[in-house]
Amino acid sequence: MLLNHLHLALAAVSYFPTALGKLQTCKGRDLPAIEVFGLEIVDITAKEHHDYEDWQPFPFMPSPKKPIDFCNFTITYTHPGQNDHINVYIWLPMNDTWNGRFIGQGGGGLTAGFAMALAPSVASGYAVAITDAGHTFHNDPSKTADSEWVLTSPGNINWPLLQDFAGRALDDLPKVAKQVIKGFYGESPKYSYWNGCSTGGRQGLMSAQRYPEDYQGIVAAAPAINWAEMAVAGLWPHIVMNRLGYYPPMCEMEAILAADVEACDELDGVKDGVIAAPGLCTFDAKTVVGQSFDCEGDSRKISAEAAEIANEAWKGPYKGDRRLWFGLPHGTPFSVAGPWGPPTGLATTECDEKNQNCRSRFFAVSTSWIGNVIRRGKSADLSEMDEEEFYRTLRLSVNEFASVMSTSDPDLSDFGAAGGKMITWHGLADQLIPVNGTSSYYEKVLSLDPEARSYYRYFEAPGVQHCFGGAGAAPTAVLDQVIRWVEEGIAPETLTAATMPAPGPPDAAPVVKHRPLCPYPLVSAYVGGDLSESSSFECAESFEVKKRHTEL
């Protein structure tokens, strides 16, 4: 599960002027004592950086690539008696470039934070901090599934570290960082925000649910909520492959996906290669069995087994009539080439150079969670897991770990009462975390509190994959919109969104399509005009708004 498609626009820096106190030197000894109940500071290090250029804009947080000046504090602490050592990394802009705001930044997979997200935030004027939650810190997103840290020894869970990762370190982070910020600048941040996607989205919801006064604004995108179910249920397509004894090459699954998109693309009235109404799509992969497809120059035919795997991936795991978790929406890739590693998805396979002799390539977070947490390091061959073992594993995950990890409490009343504001968005084509888990959670929130939209809003992004990527329009300034909601009282009626640049005619500028993303359950309906412009769409209860406008 990779990271964060949340853009930090430069405009955010100018929302209000900052009257800084006198800057302190970038030395740990000059900080006042850090006091947080239950914590013991072990070490403080500080390093001053000037004209720092060894960074790149985070793919999901575009910032101007420029030299930056900042003070890097690392605070190491422990919870006495827990035998843990946690590091908080805090980067503070220098030379009057701080905008007065603090950001707690999320992580991905089983990693609590990413160092690569710090510099872009500093370049945009924020004081920013991440936590490693006490275990091995990876700045390489391809290694976010590592979870050996969760064991003290084979067969024994390191419960303090697991609890640190699940929630406690998230509460420590702002309490430590805000004291460092005040000690350095001479004043506390005027506003504090959380910004995360995937695991970072789960962390944002955890903060709202358990620690409602830590942040005034939260961006919790594509959240890995219901972790105990999701982390195991991601194996379901492979359980079906095991039952059938067939492991399709990805070119075959891509051919089925193409037929799926062709069948359901225009359910929203627009032909754009995106299924914007997956809930209305009734495409059955069995209808294309026997059709020819190209597999890197080799002509083949879609098999009945591959069709069944696709249908089961869309349906999700059931036991009898009882849904155990959600499937992938129609239009979602079965696998996506990763920017930091091999292809990943919930139905990925790997084959020989002729696209034959294929085998499962499991979602790494699922195998890591099952192997190191549920089975406590006891080795097992998941390629032989049958349905009954899958059901037992899923049940065990929920029984033992849901209360620690799942972040599924729909009661956000304390967060609302504290004046907090939160936005969640999720791509409809998310290949790792089925979006219906998030919409189901939001419906439960509204069921408990029908007025929750006054402090929490949820948006779906058709055609967008996990945190970023895909043919759809992804949000471009979610953090900015949370800031406006918190600081100016302007609630987001839509999220601004745009597609990644696509090639156009020769010598023409790349094509970018703009869309308004609408608050759930409203949809962005086409009402006429240029398909690349947001003004050609409006929020409506259904896509039938196009017909109504035509008749008028």
Distance separating alpha carbons of residues 230 and 255, to the nearest angstrom: 26
Catalytic residue list contains 5: no
The H or E element containing residue 502 is: none
Active-site residue, from 430, 439, 514, 534? 430
Please tell me which residue in 63, 121, 147, 198 is annotated as part of the active site. Answer: 198
Query: What is the β-pairing status of strands 68-78 and 86-93?
Result: antiparallel
Whether the upstream peptide bond of residue 521 has omega within 30° of 0, thus cis, is yes
What is the DSSP secondary structure assignment for residue 423, as one 8-state letter?
Answer: E
Q: Is 198 a known active-site residue?
A: yes
Residue written as token pair 């439960």: 444
Question: CA angle 267-268-269, nearest 5°?
Answer: 90
Distances (CA, A) of 503 to 4, 61, 331, 500, 512: 25, 22, 22, 10, 9
**Residues present in the chain in total:** 552
Whether a cis peptide bond, with omega within 30° of 0, leads into 503 is: no
Measured distance CA(425)–CA(256) in Å, rounded: 27
Gap between the Cα atoms of 210 and 407, Å rounded: 9
Within 8 A by CB and 6+ apart from 101, the residues are 12, 125, 126, 127, 189, 190, 191, 192, 193, 483
Whether 199 and 108 have beta carbons less than 8 Å apart is answered as yes
Q: Is 179 helix (H, G, I), strand (E, B) or coil?
A: helix
Position 135, amino acid = H
Cross-strand bridge partners of residue 52: 68
Task: Count CB neighbours of 133 within 10 A.
Answer: 29
Catalytic residue among 466, 524, 534, 536: 466
Please provide residue 424's backbone torsions phi and psi, each rounded to the nearest 5 degrees.
-115, 135
Amino acid identity for residue 435 in this structure = V
Given a contact cutoff of 8 angstroms between Cβ atoms, the answer to whether 503 and 511 are in contact is: yes
Q: Phi then psi for 117, rounded to 5 degrees?
A: -85, -10
* DSSP helix/strand/coil, 324: coil
Place of tokens 């599934």: 145
Q: Is 321 a catalytic residue?
A: no
Strand duo 217-221 + 191-197: pairing: parallel
Continuous segment of H or E residues that includes residue 349: strand 349-350
Please tell me whether residue 293 adopts helix, strand or coil conformation.
strand
> Which residue numbers are catalytic?
198, 430, 466
